[in-house]
Structure 1
Amino acid sequence: MPRRPLVVGVVAGVAGLVLAMGGVALAAGPGSAGAGTLAATAGCGRAPTLTSGSHTISSGGQNRSYILRIPDNYDNNHPYRLIFGFHWNGGNSPDVLIVDNPVISTLAQAGALTAADETGLDTSASAPNLLGAGRLDGKAYGVPIGANTLALWYNKDLLGRAGVDVASIRDWPSLTAALAKVKGAGKKGITFSAIGTEEGSFQFLPWFWGSGAQLTALDSPRAVSALTLWKDWLTRGYAPNSVITNTQTTSWQEFAAGDYAFAENGTWQQANAEKLDFAYGIIPVPGSAGGTAPAPTGGEFVSVPVQRDTGRYDVSRKLVACLTNPDNLLTTDTTLSYVAPVAAVQQKQVAADPGLKVWVDAVNAAKGRTGDNLGTRYPRISEQLWTAVQGALSGAKSPQAALTAAQGAAAAAR
């Protein structure tokens, strides 16, 4: 799960923080950025007086330009979120952006990013599953610079005392059987984050996808089986009720205390793992019937914003090539605890640290949250998914009822 600012502008190698897209005010469909219920404002129901395109405004004694993009299917009776960004220092947008991968589709749909084929970016070396997080309508809008994902950390000492052979854990039934043994030995089973935010969806997705479910059908029998798995773990005492409010940080803290056999968490805990006072190991999240479940990818893309001066795209292409060349990728991804998006660099990472192989395998089995051409539909689907998880785990609804409501709300949202 990303831990850095969502968008960073890079100009001649110097990074600067921005909010969304420099010099651009982007009007997007509801649910396209963030979560929560939209409240209607005084403008709802009125005929629009602004149009898509370039506009000017006087600010600080100078004329400033900005770009407004209104959705093609704009409905003046429906509330929309506004994605707003300040102008860049000096008034010019950067040559490249470093963008959190789920945000790519939002910016691309708003017309703020150029497609890789327009600027000549070379995406051929990137793993297709990682590149998929930056695709919209068949076009790539950047190059991934690294990825992180989820797996199961386990306490070797605790499993040994409970008589659990971790090699026997290959699917949901064998994992549940291991949790039963741990509880029988007087210890705690598994901790994770099911909080009512994107973190909750992020952590649930390996189980959701591992069942074979699709985000376009939240109430499918396979989806219900995944939520039932989590609910049963709480009911049987294999997972604590604290998962309902746990973040990935607090669930790690529970694991680090030494009382839990397993924790679902990510590559970013590598440094913290070295501080544990017990032996640990890592296995992939298993699929319902075996194999490695697809986990969601975190990480960033290097993207090129739309420029009025198209001659700048040559500079952008060179900067992207520099940032994503194998030597620089190895240094960057090692520093950020990322798995590289390029097979040759992944091999170098594993050669330097064989313990990274499980993470390389997990990343290579992972998928982007906005993949399957969900694009800007993903945030509203995710909001309904984490709401369903909260409802089922709290006991407010059955897994089936919670997911049925989620599917209805996701389908009704635009």
Structure 2
Amino acid sequence: MITSKEQIINYFQSGIKETKDFRIGIEHEKFLFDNKNNKRIDYSKIKQMFAALLEFGWNPILEKNNIIGLNKGGKNITLEPGNQIELSGDKLNHIHEACAESQDYLFELRQVTQKLNINIVSAGFDPISKLNEIPNNPKQRYELMTKDMPLGGELSLDMMYRTCGTQLNLDYNSEEDFIKKFKIVNSIVPISIALFANSAIVEKKKSSYLSYRSKVWQSTSRGGLPKIFFEELDFEKYAEFIINFPILFIQHQDTYISGRKYTFKDFMEGKINEIGNKLPTENDLATHLSTIFTENRLKKYIELRSMDTCGWDCLCSGPAFYIGMLYANLDEVYEVISKWDKSKIINAYLEAPQKGFNTQLMGKDLLYWARTLLDLSKKGLERRDILNKNGKNETLFLNHLQQVIDNKLTNADHMISKFSKTEDLSELYDK
């Protein structure tokens, strides 16, 4: 049972790995549309799709006899509230492996979606549907979240039902290493938003945003970029942060109970009557950590969560960008961001979804900082020098971002340009 802050600190310390054992985990979400009517697919279609994927060696994950996901080896396909699907990848050694995993998944997904007349959309925000048009599914926690989340953030339901992101999971080799990495990833969120912007079309119209997904996450319950994240945030301070953070829900026997009246501290002190004052287990702690929706967060590894989903051609670019900086050039990147002012970062964070590269940070625009960080990432990946079978190192995955920066055109800009010419919905679908 978790009853003390020290136990939570120990939980984070148990994630410490030797540098040689560092791994990379990538998670990415996709929207699925019925080709016949351009509407998001419903749960009955999800069941057909999951049944077809079983032929590729996936195994069903059930909740009360309902299929809510699939697993195979160290990989999972999970179901999001509006039937977006997410691949949570295995823990892999380098970007070549991670990209190969995504390509294998794409191959399987394409076989199934073509057979079932389903279109895939790789964007940070649903470009077509209104919120009230999106079907749900029987995954229990989502019913409770749909009721409680809007109480703490006006766009929370848009986050749940109309956004897709790419997430990267990274390791740390000490508490000091975590502190540096966490400060970097929070400081560069504005650059990440601008560089990976891919959600400009909303309800078949140009929004005034390049990353509307990021705007939504800024107005989501339990989300955002807390000021404490810019301090030298060690395991103890993060433990205190999450202890005093409200609970989203508690899984008790076969049901989910709202936690909105309680903090995790109440849980640790046995003050929750609805569950017979029971104390939290390590599983309850893990659930709490994964229902804090900040731009980055700590579990037994660091989760980076500020990238819009992008197409298959650029899927590996975000992970490569971060790996080059954080696994192979940490000190040089830290030297750059350590001079930045917290209030200016937060201001850039709020402006970046709309202004993109034109957002100002410390007297320079985000395009300047993106170029600076890309160079540092490239240097790191060259230092790692991990080669594929053709003798190419991981820098090849940065080519997409180099083009974005050289042309000053993001995925969002390309989508605005393509869609605005014809307003043809087929332009929004993955080719």
TM-score of the alignment, normalized to the shorter chain, above 0.5: no
Name the one with the larger helix percent.
2
Could you state the TM-score of these two structures normalised by the residue count of structure 1?
Answer: 0.24
Larger radius of gyration: 1
Q: Which has the higher contact order (CA 8 A, sep 6+)?
A: 1
